Amino acid sequence: MKYTTYNFNGKKILITGGAGFIGSNLALYFQREYPGAEVTILDKFRGEERFPNGNLKALGHFKNLVNFRGEVIVGDLGNRRELEEILGGRKFDFIFHQGAISDTTAQDQGEILRVNLNSFYQILEFGERWGAPVVYASSGAVYGKLPGPHRIGEEAPANVYGFSKLMMDQITLKWQGKIPVVGLRYFNVYGPNEFWKGKTASMVLQLGLQILSGKSPRLFEGSEKIKRDFIFVEDVIQANILGAVKGVTGVFNVGTGEARSFKEVEEILQTLLGTSLPVEWIPNPYTKQYQFFTQADITSTREKLDYIPRYRLEEGIAQYLPEIERIYREEVAQ
**How far is it, in rounded angstroms, from Cα 310 to Cα 159?**
30
Looking at this protein, which amino acid is placed at residue 36? G
Site track for ligand NAD across 153-182, x = CB under 6 A = ------------------------------
Q: Nearest 5°: CA angle at 200, between 75 and 142?
A: 85
Pick the stretch among 21-29, 210-218, 279-287, 305-313 that binds ligand NAD (CB under 6 A): 21-29
Q: Which residue is nearest to ligand NAD (CB)?
A: 20
Q: Which of 69/199 has CB closer to ligand NAD?
A: 199
Question: Which residue from 30, 65, 95, 98 is in contact with ligand NAD, where contact means CB under 6 A?
Answer: 98
Whether residue 197 lies in the annotated active site? yes
In whole angstroms, how close is the CB of 324 to ligand NAD at the nearest point?
A: 16
Does 183 interact with ligand NAD (rule: CB under 6 A)? no
Which residues, at least 6 apart from 331, have a Cβ–Cβ distance to it below 8 Å? 195
Does 150 interact with ligand NAD (rule: CB under 6 A)? no
**How far is it, in rounded angstroms, from Cα 325 to Cα 330?**
9
Looking at this protein, which amino acid is placed at residue 243? G
**How far is it, in rounded angstroms, from Cα 161 to Cα 290?**
12
Q: Which of 34/190 has CB closer to ligand NAD?
A: 190
- Residue 236, phi then psi, degrees to nearest 5: -70, -40
Site track for ligand NAD across 64-83, x = CB under 6 A = ------------xxx-----
Pick the stretch among 99-107, 169-177, 215-223, 319-327 that binds ligand NAD (CB under 6 A): 99-107
- Per CB under 6 A, contacts with ligand NAD among 252-291 are none
Does 294 interact with ligand NAD (rule: CB under 6 A)? no
Whether residue 161 lies in the annotated active site? yes
Does 60 interact with ligand NAD (rule: CB under 6 A)? yes
Does 188 interact with ligand NAD (rule: CB under 6 A)? yes
CB 164 within 8 A of CB 104: no
Does 59 interact with ligand NAD (rule: CB under 6 A)? yes
**How far is it, in rounded angstroms, from Cα 142 to Cα 227?**
16
Does 100 interact with ligand NAD (rule: CB under 6 A)? yes
Q: Which helix (H) or strand (E) covers residue 103, if one does?
A: none
Q: Which of 150/271 has CB closer to ligand NAD?
A: 150
The helix, strand and coil proportions of the chain, stated in percent and rounded to the nearest 5, come to 40, 15, 40
Check the CA dihedral 202-208-211-213 and report its sign: negative
Q: Which helix (H) or strand (E) covers residue 168, if one does?
A: helix 160-173
Active site residue: 161, 186, 307, 320, which one? 161
CB 58 within 8 A of CB 102: no
CB 171 within 8 A of CB 127: no
Q: How many helices (H) and strands (E) does the chain have?
A: 10, 13
In whole angstroms, how close is the CB of 249 to ligand NAD at the nearest point?
A: 19
In whole angstroms, how close is the CB of 5 to ligand NAD at the nearest point?
A: 26
Query: Which residues make up the interface to ligand NAD (CB under 6 A)?
Result: 17, 19-23, 43-45, 58-60, 76-78, 98-102, 115, 137, 139, 186, 188-189, 197
Catalytic residue ranges: 161, 197
